[in-house]
Structure 1
Amino acid sequence: MEQVRDNILDYLKENSFMEREAVLGDNDSLTQNGIMDSIGLLELIDYICETYSIEIPEEMLTPENFDSLEGITTLINRLAK
């Protein structure tokens, strides 16, 4: 789970409005902190699907699953089994 979290954090630092040196807590909001916008979210979803060879069901495309590192990591771990 830690590896998935670190992988997503690296992706965000490279592909979002997040600064490389920034510290992000597991439950910090990606949208409220200005790290992710709607286009960035779509790109993140594509990245997750390709990297982890998973499909994300439409009903799982919720703020709870995509607005924090914890939500994203939990979703990936649930679907990648």
Structure 2
Amino acid sequence: MIADSNSVAPELREFISRNFLFSDQGFKYGDDASFLREGIIDSLGVMELVTFVEKQYGIAVADHELLPSNFDSVSRLSSFITSKLAGHS
């Protein structure tokens, strides 16, 4: 799958809006907003997000990759996904 941050970020925003914010109004936060600090996603929600990422992008997320540096904002997560898709771990 060919993807970059510009194609991944909108998909993440839509998923988070619908599944965590329960809104059709879109993602009303900046892409650098912390999911945990802003109360967008709790620790259990992170696991739901991991499942979505693995299924949507066909990548495996290892336990050691479950870090805020990879999963705590749209920007961080889209960078993580595009890096994995490019074959970098």
- TM-score exceeds 0.5: yes
Contact 2:16 2:27 in 1 (8 A): no
Give per-residue Cα distances to partners, 1:57-76, cap 9 Å, x unaligned: 22211011111111100100
- Give the % identical residues: 26
Q: Letter of the aligned partner of 1:79 in structure 2?
A: K
Answering whether residue 85 of structure 2 is matched by residue 80 of structure 1, we say: yes
Answering whether residue 68 of structure 2 is matched by residue 60 of structure 1, we say: no
Answering whether residue 35 of structure 2 is matched by residue 30 of structure 1, we say: yes
Q: Letter of the aligned partner of 2:71 in structure 1?
A: F
Aligned residues between the structures: 81
Q: Where do 5+ consecutive residues of structure 1 fail to align?
A: none
Answering whether residue 8 of structure 2 is matched by residue 4 of structure 1, we say: yes
Following superposition, the deviation at residue 17 of structure 1 comes to: 3.0
Q: In 2, Cα distance between the equivalents of 1:18 and 1:73?
A: 21
Residue equivalent to 2:17: 13
- The two structures have a TM-score, normalised by structure 1, of 0.90
Q: Where do 5+ consecutive residues of structure 2 fail to align?
A: none
Query: How has the CA–CA distance of structure 1 residues 80 and 26 changed in structure 2, closer, same or farther, with 3 Å as cutoff?
Result: same
When the two chains are superposed, the root-mean-square deviation of aligned CA atoms in Å is 1.4
- The two structures have a TM-score, normalised by structure 2, of 0.82
